[in-house]
């Protein structure tokens, strides 16, 4: 049988800020404990920070419309003879994230931004289209003037 995951989302969940850092932190320290090594300034769109003396530039990116991010933590696994279920508990939510890069601000071609674009594109591709909308589009195509190649 296939493994499944179950995510428990409490009725009230706190909103947090999420940061995607281009570094590997091997410590199990909390964010509060790392605060001494993190200096951040800038406005809401473009930010600058220093982590352990290294310059990082960041940009806040909203999630696509209709999406919400969750930070989940494992709350155990249940294994029976028929199935394996992983249980997760959502501890906080986010509606935007800050992308960080070394020395330059993440631009439109940043891989994480591009991945988020696919969410919105997927919604458009899989959206229901009524027969009336198809007929209207066909009429618009047929009535458009055709230009001869030059």
What domains are defined for the chain?
A: 4-106 (2.40.128.680)
Question: Is there a contact between 105 and 57 (Cβ–Cβ < 8 Å)?
Answer: yes
Mean pLDDT value of segment 128-133: 89
Which pLDDT belongs to residue 10? 85
Average pLDDT, the chain: 82
More confident residue, 146 or 65: 65
Q: How many Å apart are CA 107 and CA 116, to the nearest integer?
A: 13
Beta-strand ranges (E) seen in the chain are 4-8, 18-20, 38-42, 46-51, 54-62, 69-79, 84-94, 96-102
pLDDT tens digits, one per residue of 97-120: 989 999 888 888 899 899 988 888
Confidence of residue 81 (pLDDT cuts 50, 70, 90): low
- The percentage of the chain sitting over the pLDDT mark of 70, rounded to a whole number, equals 81
Which pLDDT belongs to residue 1? 56
Which pLDDT belongs to residue 135? 92
More confident residue, 2 or 54: 54
Report residue 49 CA to chain centroid gap.
Answer: 21
CB neighbours of residue 76 within 10 Å: 9
Which pLDDT belongs to residue 69? 92
Which pLDDT belongs to residue 94? 93
Q: How many Å apart are CA 8 and CA 127, to the nearest integer?
A: 28
Mean pLDDT value of segment 12-17: 88
Mean pLDDT value of segment 26-55: 73
What's the pTM value of the predicted model, to 2 decimals? 0.67
């Amino acid at each position: 049988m296939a493994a499944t995951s179950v995510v428990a989302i409490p009725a009230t969940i706190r909103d947090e800020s999420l940061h995607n850092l281009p570094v590997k932190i091997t410590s199990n320290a909390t964010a509060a404990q790392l605060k001494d090594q993190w200096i951040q300034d800038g406005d809401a769109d473009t930010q600058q920070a220093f982590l352990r003396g290294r310059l990082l530039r960041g940009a806040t990116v909203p999630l696509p419309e209709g999406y919400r991010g969750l930070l989940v933590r494992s709350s155990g696994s249940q294994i029976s003879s028929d199935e394996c279920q992983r249980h997760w508990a959502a501890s906080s939510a986010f509606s935007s994230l800050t992308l960080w890069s070394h020395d330059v601000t993440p631009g439109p071609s940043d891989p994480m931004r591009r991945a988020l674009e696919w969410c919105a594109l997927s919604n458009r591709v899989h959206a229901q289209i009524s027969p009336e909308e198809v007929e209207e589009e066909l009429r618009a195509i047929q009535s458009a003037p055709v230009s001869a190649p030059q």
